Amino acid sequence: MNPIRILQLSDTHLSPRTQRFHENNEMMIDVLKASDHDLIIHTGDISLDGIRFEEDYPFCREFLSRAGKTIHYLPGNHDVGDNPRLSQPETVMGSAISPTRLDRYRRYYGDDKWVVDSGNWRLLGINSLRIGSGLDGEQQQYEWIESQLAMLGDRHLALFTHQPLFVDTPENTELTYWTVDPVGRGNLAGLIEHPRLRLIASGHLHQQRSRSYGDIQLEWCSSIAFTTREELVPEMGGTRQVGYLEHVLHDDGRVQTKPLALPDFVNSYLDDCLLEVYPKY
Protein backbone atom coordinates (compact mmCIF):
# COMPACT_ATOMS: atom_id res chain seq x y z
CA MET A 1 0.00 0.00 0.00
CA ASN A 2 1.09 3.56 -0.56
CA PRO A 3 2.38 5.48 2.47
CA ILE A 4 -0.02 7.86 4.20
CA ARG A 5 1.09 11.47 3.91
CA ILE A 6 -0.06 13.92 6.58
CA LEU A 7 0.43 17.67 6.80
CA GLN A 8 0.33 18.89 10.40
CA LEU A 9 0.00 22.55 11.31
CA SER A 10 -0.52 24.00 14.75
CA ASP A 11 -0.95 27.11 16.86
CA THR A 12 -2.21 29.51 14.21
CA HIS A 13 -3.41 31.99 16.90
CA LEU A 14 -5.72 33.95 14.62
CA SER A 15 -8.00 36.81 15.65
CA PRO A 16 -9.81 39.72 14.03
CA ARG A 17 -8.59 42.02 16.81
CA THR A 18 -5.01 42.14 15.57
CA GLN A 19 -3.08 41.72 12.33
CA ARG A 20 -0.30 40.03 14.23
CA PHE A 21 0.53 36.58 12.82
CA HIS A 22 -1.77 36.97 9.81
CA GLU A 23 1.12 37.17 7.34
CA ASN A 24 2.43 33.65 7.96
CA ASN A 25 -1.09 32.26 8.08
CA GLU A 26 -1.90 33.86 4.72
CA MET A 27 1.12 32.11 3.22
CA MET A 28 0.02 28.87 4.88
CA ILE A 29 -3.32 29.10 3.08
CA ASP A 30 -1.44 28.80 -0.21
CA VAL A 31 0.44 25.77 1.13
CA LEU A 32 -2.84 24.13 2.10
CA LYS A 33 -4.42 24.90 -1.27
CA ALA A 34 -1.52 23.21 -3.05
CA SER A 35 -1.39 20.25 -0.64
CA ASP A 36 -1.88 16.76 -2.05
CA HIS A 37 -1.55 15.12 1.37
CA ASP A 38 -3.95 12.38 2.42
CA LEU A 39 -4.86 14.29 5.59
CA ILE A 40 -4.40 17.75 7.01
CA ILE A 41 -4.41 17.96 10.82
CA HIS A 42 -4.47 21.10 12.97
CA THR A 43 -3.33 20.34 16.52
CA GLY A 44 -4.93 23.28 18.27
CA ASP A 45 -4.71 26.87 19.39
CA ILE A 46 -6.61 27.68 16.26
CA SER A 47 -7.63 30.99 17.84
CA LEU A 48 -5.67 33.71 19.57
CA ASP A 49 -8.05 33.91 22.54
CA GLY A 50 -11.22 32.03 21.71
CA ILE A 51 -11.78 31.22 25.38
CA ARG A 52 -12.57 34.90 26.02
CA PHE A 53 -13.66 36.21 22.60
CA GLU A 54 -16.15 34.16 20.61
CA GLU A 55 -15.47 36.38 17.59
CA ASP A 56 -12.17 34.54 17.14
CA TYR A 57 -14.03 31.35 16.25
CA PRO A 58 -15.97 32.43 13.15
CA PHE A 59 -12.95 34.44 12.03
CA CYS A 60 -10.63 31.41 12.25
CA ARG A 61 -13.15 29.13 10.59
CA GLU A 62 -13.60 31.50 7.67
CA PHE A 63 -9.88 32.25 7.38
CA LEU A 64 -8.80 28.62 7.17
CA SER A 65 -11.78 27.51 5.07
CA ARG A 66 -10.31 29.57 2.24
CA ALA A 67 -7.85 26.72 1.71
CA GLY A 68 -10.73 24.64 0.36
CA LYS A 69 -9.47 21.50 2.12
CA THR A 70 -10.82 19.19 4.80
CA ILE A 71 -8.91 19.90 8.00
CA HIS A 72 -9.12 17.66 11.07
CA TYR A 73 -9.07 20.03 14.04
CA LEU A 74 -8.21 19.52 17.70
CA PRO A 75 -8.66 22.13 20.44
CA GLY A 76 -5.81 23.88 22.21
CA ASN A 77 -5.78 25.70 25.51
CA HIS A 78 -6.51 29.03 23.81
CA ASP A 79 -9.59 27.39 22.30
CA VAL A 80 -11.09 25.60 25.33
CA GLY A 81 -9.02 26.64 28.36
CA ASP A 82 -6.14 25.55 30.59
CA ASN A 83 -5.83 22.96 33.33
CA PRO A 84 -8.00 24.22 36.23
CA ARG A 85 -5.24 23.43 38.73
CA LEU A 86 -3.00 25.97 36.98
CA SER A 87 -5.47 28.74 36.17
CA GLN A 88 -8.31 30.89 37.43
CA PRO A 89 -11.92 30.08 36.52
CA GLU A 90 -13.88 31.59 33.67
CA THR A 91 -16.07 33.51 36.11
CA VAL A 92 -13.16 35.86 36.89
CA MET A 93 -11.93 35.99 33.26
CA GLY A 94 -9.36 33.31 34.04
CA SER A 95 -8.18 30.78 31.49
CA ALA A 96 -9.44 27.53 33.04
CA ILE A 97 -11.25 25.01 30.85
CA SER A 98 -15.02 25.04 31.35
CA PRO A 99 -18.17 23.42 29.95
CA THR A 100 -19.10 26.73 28.30
CA ARG A 101 -15.78 26.93 26.49
CA LEU A 102 -15.97 23.28 25.40
CA ASP A 103 -19.50 23.82 24.06
CA ARG A 104 -18.32 26.86 22.13
CA TYR A 105 -15.57 24.85 20.45
CA ARG A 106 -18.01 22.11 19.47
CA ARG A 107 -20.44 24.62 17.97
CA TYR A 108 -17.80 25.77 15.52
CA TYR A 109 -15.62 22.69 15.01
CA GLY A 110 -17.66 19.66 16.03
CA ASP A 111 -16.38 16.88 18.27
CA ASP A 112 -13.12 17.48 20.16
CA LYS A 113 -11.84 13.97 19.42
CA TRP A 114 -11.82 11.84 16.27
CA VAL A 115 -10.54 8.65 14.69
CA VAL A 116 -9.45 8.07 11.10
CA ASP A 117 -8.55 4.65 9.71
CA SER A 118 -6.34 4.72 6.65
CA GLY A 119 -4.47 1.78 5.21
CA ASN A 120 -2.70 -0.09 7.98
CA TRP A 121 -3.01 2.83 10.41
CA ARG A 122 -5.46 4.19 12.94
CA LEU A 123 -5.09 7.90 13.70
CA LEU A 124 -6.53 9.18 16.98
CA GLY A 125 -7.09 12.83 17.76
CA ILE A 126 -7.81 13.69 21.40
CA ASN A 127 -8.61 16.74 23.50
CA SER A 128 -5.55 16.96 25.75
CA LEU A 129 -7.12 19.69 27.91
CA ARG A 130 -9.81 17.31 29.15
CA ILE A 131 -7.11 15.19 30.78
CA GLY A 132 -7.10 15.94 34.50
CA SER A 133 -9.80 18.60 34.12
CA GLY A 134 -12.36 16.90 36.35
CA LEU A 135 -15.12 17.94 33.94
CA ASP A 136 -17.92 15.83 32.56
CA GLY A 137 -16.54 14.11 29.49
CA GLU A 138 -13.05 13.44 30.84
CA GLN A 139 -13.84 9.84 31.80
CA GLN A 140 -15.79 9.34 28.58
CA GLN A 141 -12.72 10.28 26.56
CA TYR A 142 -10.60 7.70 28.44
CA GLU A 143 -13.26 5.07 27.74
CA TRP A 144 -13.42 6.10 24.08
CA ILE A 145 -9.64 5.77 23.75
CA GLU A 146 -9.78 2.31 25.31
CA SER A 147 -12.52 1.29 22.89
CA GLN A 148 -10.41 2.44 19.94
CA LEU A 149 -7.46 0.40 21.23
CA ALA A 150 -9.68 -2.64 21.70
CA MET A 151 -10.75 -2.44 18.05
CA LEU A 152 -7.28 -1.65 16.70
CA GLY A 153 -6.49 -5.11 15.38
CA ASP A 154 -3.20 -5.25 13.50
CA ARG A 155 -3.17 -1.56 12.60
CA HIS A 156 -0.38 0.75 13.69
CA LEU A 157 -1.39 3.72 15.83
CA ALA A 158 -0.66 7.44 15.56
CA LEU A 159 -1.85 9.94 18.18
CA PHE A 160 -2.45 13.65 17.59
CA THR A 161 -2.87 16.02 20.54
CA HIS A 162 -2.37 19.68 21.35
CA GLN A 163 -0.18 19.17 24.42
CA PRO A 164 2.56 16.55 24.51
CA LEU A 165 1.65 13.69 26.83
CA PHE A 166 5.13 14.09 28.35
CA VAL A 167 8.42 15.77 27.50
CA ASP A 168 10.86 12.86 27.47
CA THR A 169 9.36 10.07 29.59
CA PRO A 170 5.97 9.60 31.30
CA GLU A 171 7.52 9.06 34.75
CA ASN A 172 7.66 12.79 35.59
CA THR A 173 4.74 13.60 37.91
CA GLU A 174 5.20 17.40 38.14
CA LEU A 175 2.19 19.42 37.02
CA THR A 176 3.33 22.03 34.49
CA TYR A 177 1.86 24.13 31.71
CA TRP A 178 3.87 22.24 29.09
CA THR A 179 2.29 18.77 29.09
CA VAL A 180 -0.96 17.06 30.01
CA ASP A 181 -1.89 16.70 33.67
CA PRO A 182 0.33 13.89 35.06
CA VAL A 183 -2.47 12.57 37.29
CA GLY A 184 -4.80 12.30 34.33
CA ARG A 185 -2.01 10.84 32.23
CA GLY A 186 -2.13 7.76 34.43
CA ASN A 187 -5.41 6.93 32.72
CA LEU A 188 -3.56 6.80 29.39
CA ALA A 189 -1.14 4.03 30.39
CA GLY A 190 -2.83 1.58 28.04
CA LEU A 191 -2.35 4.02 25.17
CA ILE A 192 1.24 5.04 25.96
CA GLU A 193 2.33 1.45 26.50
CA HIS A 194 0.43 0.01 23.55
CA PRO A 195 2.80 -2.03 21.34
CA ARG A 196 1.27 -0.63 18.13
CA LEU A 197 1.73 3.06 19.05
CA ARG A 198 4.33 4.57 16.73
CA LEU A 199 3.75 8.34 16.77
CA ILE A 200 2.66 11.05 19.21
CA ALA A 201 2.40 14.34 17.31
CA SER A 202 1.66 17.52 19.26
CA GLY A 203 1.85 21.31 19.17
CA HIS A 204 1.54 23.81 22.05
CA LEU A 205 5.24 24.46 22.75
CA HIS A 206 5.96 26.54 19.64
CA GLN A 207 9.09 24.50 19.06
CA GLN A 208 9.96 21.75 16.60
CA ARG A 209 11.56 18.75 18.23
CA SER A 210 11.98 15.09 17.29
CA ARG A 211 12.68 12.48 19.96
CA SER A 212 11.76 8.87 20.62
CA TYR A 213 10.43 6.93 23.58
CA GLY A 214 10.85 3.23 22.95
CA ASP A 215 9.24 2.56 19.56
CA ILE A 216 7.28 5.83 19.67
CA GLN A 217 8.35 8.95 17.79
CA LEU A 218 7.59 12.13 19.73
CA GLU A 219 7.13 14.94 17.22
CA TRP A 220 6.54 18.53 18.29
CA CYS A 221 5.11 20.81 15.62
CA SER A 222 6.14 24.45 15.50
CA SER A 223 3.59 27.23 15.46
CA ILE A 224 2.72 28.98 12.22
CA ALA A 225 2.23 32.22 14.18
CA PHE A 226 5.21 32.77 16.47
CA THR A 227 7.90 31.27 18.63
CA THR A 228 9.23 32.40 22.03
CA ARG A 229 12.44 33.02 23.85
CA GLU A 230 13.45 31.04 26.93
CA GLU A 231 11.94 33.61 29.30
CA LEU A 232 8.46 32.46 28.22
CA VAL A 233 9.06 28.81 27.30
CA PRO A 234 12.02 27.01 28.90
CA GLU A 235 14.68 25.23 26.90
CA MET A 236 13.53 21.72 26.07
CA GLY A 237 15.76 20.94 23.12
CA GLY A 238 13.46 22.25 20.42
CA THR A 239 14.15 24.51 17.46
CA ARG A 240 12.56 27.94 17.87
CA GLN A 241 11.46 28.48 14.31
CA VAL A 242 7.95 28.83 12.90
CA GLY A 243 6.82 26.12 10.51
CA TYR A 244 4.81 22.94 10.08
CA LEU A 245 5.38 19.18 9.68
CA GLU A 246 4.94 16.43 7.14
CA HIS A 247 4.52 12.88 8.42
CA VAL A 248 4.80 9.84 6.17
CA LEU A 249 3.33 6.68 7.71
CA HIS A 250 4.54 3.48 6.10
CA ASP A 251 2.61 0.23 6.01
CA ASP A 252 5.26 -1.52 8.12
CA GLY A 253 4.92 1.02 10.97
CA ARG A 254 7.83 3.27 10.07
CA VAL A 255 7.28 7.00 10.50
CA GLN A 256 9.19 9.70 8.66
CA THR A 257 8.71 13.28 9.81
CA LYS A 258 10.06 16.36 8.06
CA PRO A 259 9.93 19.94 9.41
CA LEU A 260 8.92 22.43 6.73
CA ALA A 261 8.78 26.21 6.43
CA LEU A 262 8.47 28.80 3.72
CA PRO A 263 11.48 31.08 3.18
CA ASP A 264 9.25 34.14 3.62
CA PHE A 265 7.82 33.10 6.99
CA VAL A 266 8.41 35.77 9.65
CA ASN A 267 9.93 34.29 12.79
CA SER A 268 8.08 36.48 15.30
CA TYR A 269 8.66 36.21 19.04
CA LEU A 270 5.66 36.48 21.35
CA ASP A 271 7.92 38.14 23.93
CA ASP A 272 8.03 41.25 21.72
CA CYS A 273 4.24 41.73 21.56
CA LEU A 274 2.86 39.80 24.53
CA LEU A 275 0.99 42.66 26.20
CA GLU A 276 -0.40 43.78 22.83
CA VAL A 277 -1.96 40.46 21.86
CA TYR A 278 -2.62 39.10 25.37
CA PRO A 279 -3.35 42.14 27.58
CA LYS A 280 -3.72 41.40 31.27
CA TYR A 281 -7.25 40.80 32.44
Structure confidence at residue 281 (pLDDT): 59
Whether the per-residue pLDDT at 262 is higher than 70: the answer is yes
Cα 173–chain centre separation? 21
> What values do phi and psi take at 58, rounded to 5?
-60, -35
Q: Give residue 1's pLDDT.
A: 75
Q: What's the CATH number for 4-271?
A: 3.60.21.10
Largest CA distance in the chain: 53
* 226-236 mean pLDDT: 95
**Pairing state between β 114-118 and 121-125:** antiparallel
- Would the pTM count as exceeding 0.85? yes
Q: What percent of the chain has pLDDT over 90?
A: 98
Residue 233 has pLDDT above 90, yes or no: yes
Domains of the chain, by residue range, sit at 4-271
- The per-residue pLDDT of the chain, averaged, comes to 97
- Measured distance CA(75)–CA(150) in Å, rounded: 25
**Residue 128 CB contacts under 8 Å (≥ 6 apart), including other chains:** 44, 74, 161, 162, 163, 165, 180, 202, 204
- Burial (CB < 10 A; 0-12, 13-18, 19+), residue 67, is middle
